Chains A and B, each alone.
Chain A
């Protein structure tokens, strides 16, 4: 018998791949920061005019407003050339200083410290709900392909992902909040509750501060907005999971697993799910982006104190620093989630591990 050697890739490569992926994050962030900066300056209207006009009782002349605006522009540094504003902006970013809001002069970093955890809670919760619903129904539809279960699942899925978030949000407020009065529909926690944020993640704080009574009201407040966000995504995941599982079920190695004498349940768990996970994970990463977009609307509908809400208010008031900060943090969240997705690929599929 001739000797054969196998080249198993050296162990070093996978960590290197991870480092490379992480190194790309700052570059992506720089590009994003630039885009956000430019987009803000392209928006019609200027913060100074809205500030200058809004500051008085409304009986200022046009000349007075212009003069006032010039002063405000100077104070906020908006009179400087664009490139100078850009470099100041980038420099501040490096020191985690996102500036102060034009209205109220609050530190953006601090505002984000309050709202970002709320948004992360909302999106992660709805992601979990969506994945749970989507996986169960998708796998079921695939296994019962061609039956009424399959047809019904797909029909419901299509309807659910065609529903706009705001419609679903308003509907759930009316049904569960107003008619049935089962669930709270506004905010993140009841005002009556004395909550002293530490990390601003309620679950984490409840554990750290030993306050289990926080958890139930928190979940109650989270349930409607998270489900609203989750439903449309779940319908989408159902379809992807169904297609992906069906494809893997037709693969040769599934026949091998049957030849081994394995039961259908074992085949599904051990061979089908992992191999169908790759396209599903890809879609989850990309869908997280639309989830973040949806959270802007959902947070507004539910008066939920997250980044999306902050962004909408910032835009309405032409408060550049707020919009920049909110947009950047949403972009960062999306980037990080997709880094996690890339790392999940490596964990799920050994074929991708060679550099």
Chain B
């Protein structure tokens, strides 16, 4: 792993909801290496968005309780004031949101929206910022950037809007780009193009990318490292190949199992993970996945398993108490 660019230590994110306090992120340690693409994988509600939004304080608010540390460039972004954070946002750390149609201002030309990002952090003329915006739109693969800059979001196709979103993210050449499900709303060919674009950014600009996704196909395509999240915690972490080809945690195994395969046997039904993810405010005292786990034993309910290197290679961590034999048991699906 390359040297650390950003370090997350004991991060907890909780939200006040009518039923109590919802632990969206329940204590996470994670290091982001310079120039890598880290995929955060998990079901909806697993805390991957809450985790990444709290890196730049975008989920701060009267109902949010964020604690722990996010160390970046010598400062702690959790403790940083709003003014200090504004300086980091968009300049050092940028976010590419999913659903670009909603994430772009419908009443502003996209050129203005890219130029605004530039002018927020750099003293340039409007004209120069606009010219740079057109350039950026070209760089992210829009064929006729001058015309596109003058268009409103609704006049562009879904793929192009996502490119505009990426152009905004890139505008100040940030060291970290958080891409929150950047391909969910796109069809497969456009998805592949956008992923290739992200990969290109990483190789050409050395941008570190946090890719939030629930799509293991996307992970296989571009990720260097993978962190699998369940109920606000990381349950497995390792290189892409380690996690995809020798998964250690039963949840990762189950996830991989539920992906349809083109070369596999035709199935009437895709295997699904029984039960549903935890969304309530109360969490079990033991492993959060135990109630849905096919291998679970009594011991699983006693304590929350730590994320440690257990049976994998060095750096391949998992949070499962079961011994190797118990995890590998054949279970009738």
Contact = CB atoms under 8 A, between A and B. Distances in A.
Interface in A248-282: 251-253, 255-263, 270-271, 274-275
Nearest to A271: B105
Interface in B35-92: 56, 58, 62, 86-91
B107 interface: yes
Contact of A348 (B86, B89, B107, B150): B107
Contacts of B147: 6, 8
B152 A350 contact: yes
Contacts of B142: 4
A351 interface: yes
B97 A261 contact: no
B164 to A, nearest CB: 11
Given A260-B89, A350-B107, 14 more contacts: A4-B142, A4-B159, A5-B143, A255-B97, A256-B97, A256-B105, A257-B105, A259-B90, A259-B94, A260-B116, A260-B168, A261-B86, A261-B89, A349-B106
Interface string A338-355: 000000000011110000
**A interface, how many residues as a size bin?**
20 to 34
A263 B148 CA distance: 27
Interface in A60-83: none
Contact of B193 (A1, A259, A263): A1
A3 interface: yes
Nearest to B159: A4
A258 B58 contact: yes
24 contacts: A2-B143, A6-B151, A6-B155, A8-B150, A8-B151, A146-B62, A252-B103, A253-B102, A253-B104, A257-B105, A258-B89, A259-B94, A259-B95, A260-B90, A260-B117, A261-B87, A261-B88, A261-B90, A261-B120, A262-B116, A262-B120, A349-B107, A350-B106, A351-B152
Interface in A102-157: 146
B157 to A, nearest CB: 7
Contacts of A348: 107
B198 to A, nearest CB: 15
B160 interface: yes
Contacts of A253: 102-106
Interface residues of B, number: 41
A261 B155 contact: no
A261 B148 CA distance: 24
B155 A256 contact: no
Contacts of A251: 102
B106 A275 contact: yes
Which of A4, A5, A348: most chain B Cβ within 10 A?
A4
Contacts of B120: 260-262
Contacts of B107: 274-275, 348-350
A5 B144 contact: yes
B86 A262 contact: yes
Nearest to A353: B152
A348 B152 CA distance: 12
Contacts of A8: 147, 150-151, 155
Contacts of B87: 261
A7 interface: yes
Interface in B216-264: none
B327 interface: no
Nearest to A4: B143
Contacts of A1: 141, 143, 193
B156 interface: yes
Contacts of A260: 89-90, 116-117, 120, 168
B100 to A, nearest CB: 9
A236 B37 CA distance: 51
Interface in A6-60: 6-9
A235 B288 CA distance: 51
A76 B233 CA distance: 89
A253 to B, nearest CB: 4
A248 B120 CA distance: 21
Nearest to B85: A261
3 closest Cβ contacts across the A-B interface?
A: A261-B90, A252-B102, A261-B89
Contacts of A252: 97, 99, 102-103
Contacts of B132: none
B154 interface: yes
B65 to A, nearest CB: 17
Given A6-B147, A271-B105, A259 B155 contact: no
B121 interface: yes
Nearest to B150: A8
A19 to B, nearest CB: 22
B66 to A, nearest CB: 15
B193 A6 contact: no
Given A260-B117, A261-B88, A6 B106 contact: no
Nearest to A349: B107
Given A252-B97, A350-B152, A351-B152, A261 B91 contact: yes
